[in-house]
Amino acid sequence: RADLAVLAVVFFERLRGIGTFVGFIGAGLAIALREYLAAFLAWFYIVGQRNVSLGTRIEVGGVRGDVIDIGVFKLTLVEVRGEGLGEQSSGRLVTVPNFKILTDPVFHFTAGSPFVWDEMEFTVTFESDWERARQIVQEVGNEIFEPHRHEVEAGFRQLESDYAFRYGVTTPIVYTSVGESGIRLRLRYLTHVRGRRDNRDVISRRVLRRFAAEPTVELAYPTSRTYRTEIDMQRFGEKRTPE
C-alpha cells in the first residue's frame, strides 16, 4: 500500500507537470494565433450585421475600395484611389484582415445611401456680375441633381429608419465668399459615390460654356501689377506727386 501511495503521488506530480506544459503551449498558441482567431470571430460579425457585403465601398485600415470577396479571415477589395485621384479603381486587389472591421474606424460609402456630398469652387473676377455667375452655377447644380432626386430622398429615408439620423437639405446650394483673386462660388451637391468624377467633369464643362457666353462674367486667376514708371502710373490713373 505504501508503494501504491508513492506511485500515486509520482503520477499526479507528473500529470500536473504535463498540465502546466500543455497550458504553456496553449497560451503560446493563443498569442501566436490571436489575430487569426480575432479575424474568424469578426467574420461572424460581418455575416450577421451585413453592413459589409459584396459590392459595397468602404474604407478601413487606410484602404478604400469595393468589396469583392468576404473570406473567413480576410476581406478582398478592389482599391479605389482617394478623392484627389478621382475616386476611381486602380485595378489593384487589397486584402484586409476581418478584425479591422471591429478595431478600426470603418467608412461606409454605399450603406443605406450611395450618395455623398461633394464641393466644387469657381472664382470670378471682382468686376464680374457675380450674382449672374452664382445663378449659373446654381442652375448647373440643379441639372445634375434633378435626375437623381427620388433616389437620393429614398436613400436618406432608409438611413432615417435604420439609424438615429435626420437629413436636412438635399438640394444643391452655392456659397459665396470673397477671395484674394475674386468672388468664390462654392457649389455643394450630392453625387453618387461612383459618379463623382464624371459629375465634376460635366459640371465644369457646363459652367465654362455658360460663363463664356456671359459678357459680364469672367473667371479669375491670381494676378499682380507692377508700376515701373510715371507713364505707367498715369495710364492706370494713379499719378503721384514726385517726392
How far is residue 202 from each of residues 7, 141, 147, 175, 197, measured CA to CA in Å?
89, 10, 14, 20, 9
Q: What is the dihedral of CA 208, 212, 214, 217, to 10 degrees?
A: 70
> So what's the pLDDT on residue 83?
62
The conformational region for residue 69 under phi > 0 = left, psi -120 to 50 = alpha, else beta, is beta
How far is residue 44's CA from residue 30's CA, in Å, rounded to a whole number? 19
> So what's the pLDDT on residue 124?
96
Contact in structure between 29 and 52 (CB atoms under 8 Å)? no
- Cβ–Cβ contacts within 10 Å for residue 28, how many? 10
Interior CA angle at 136 toward 130 and 139, to 5°?
140
pTM of the model: 0.69
Phi, psi dihedral angles at 24 (to 5 degrees) = -65, -40
How far is residue 56's CA from residue 230's CA, in Å, rounded to a whole number? 66
pLDDT in tens, 133-178: 999 999 999 999 999 998 888 888 877 777 777 777 889 999 999 9
Contact in structure between 128 and 218 (CB atoms under 8 Å)? yes
How far is residue 235 from each of residues 127, 226, 238, measured CA to CA in Å?
19, 12, 8
> So what's the pLDDT on residue 239?
46
Phi, psi dihedral angles at 99 (to 5 degrees) = -65, -15
pLDDT < 70 positions in the chain:
1-33, 82-86, 224-243
Contact in structure between 99 and 92 (CB atoms under 8 Å)? no
> So what's the pLDDT on residue 61?
84
If you average pLDDT over every residue of the chain, what do you get? 81
> So what's the pLDDT on residue 144?
94
Contact in structure between 155 and 113 (CB atoms under 8 Å)? yes
> So what's the pLDDT on residue 242?
44
| DSSP annotation of 87 | S
